[in-house]
Structure 1
Amino acid sequence: MDKPMNIFDIAGRAMSAQLVRLNATASNLANAGSVSGNENQAYRAIRPVFSTIVEKPGVATVKVDKVVTSDTPATRRHDPGHPLADANGDVWEAGVDSSAELVEMVESARMYQNNVQVIQTAKSLLLETIRLGK
């Protein structure tokens, strides 16, 4: 049987989940302006899907179940001079909303930082408790 989750396990798992979210956002932003010669090959944004892990009432954390591809369609743009243009002179731009990705990035970074603060506070409280016991 696994040992019960403690505050460090809970916050650590939450930080790992936010790191996956931040990596997905970085991938999306990196591909935001990319183009392709056809719609099927155009980059689509990716998103992690989280689920809750409940050990007992009041003790829960999060994990990444999977990473899914967005259904946001690629944008067709007429650019006959582009080397990837199809027979009609069109290229397909990645289905990524840069503004939404920036919001996602800020939110995941804040969530990560919140969990760092939880760990720092728990560590301080434990050290203070040990100091009081001496």
Structure 2
Amino acid sequence: MCWELAARAPTLWASDRTPGWAAVLDTALGALRSAGNVRGTAAILVLRGVVSGEHDPRLGEAQIQEALHLFEDLGDGHGQALAWSRLARTHRVGCDYRAALRAAGKATALARRVGDRGEELNALQCIGRHT
């Protein structure tokens, strides 16, 4: 339950609060891995990747890629769309605009397929920032 609370509090991810928020996410991640909760682990890895990506895009990308593989193993289309969308953002922060466009395109397609209009909008906004 705590990981769900952490995952639903995006306003706390502001850059000035990143160090404290990273510690919260790391604690949640450790607990989820210990409990064998794969979906929760993937969700928190996406968030951890977003936080990491603000300062180290390569680390953020690696964390989100790990989450993406977990969501793929679970067959979780919503999770995959989320991961691709956040990966696009991380690529954009790292100035890898081609990779950002590819990831955003994959996120858009997946979000449409599973009917996740919110994530589709996030991905389209990412595309819009590159054109």
Fold agreement, TM-score > 0.5: no
TM-score band (shorter)? Answer: under 0.3
* Bigger RCO (CA 8 Å, 6+ sep): 1
> TM-score, normalised on structure 1?
0.24
Task: Give me the TM-score of the superposition, normalised by structure 2.
Answer: 0.24
Instruction: Give the structure with the larger strand fraction.
Output: 1
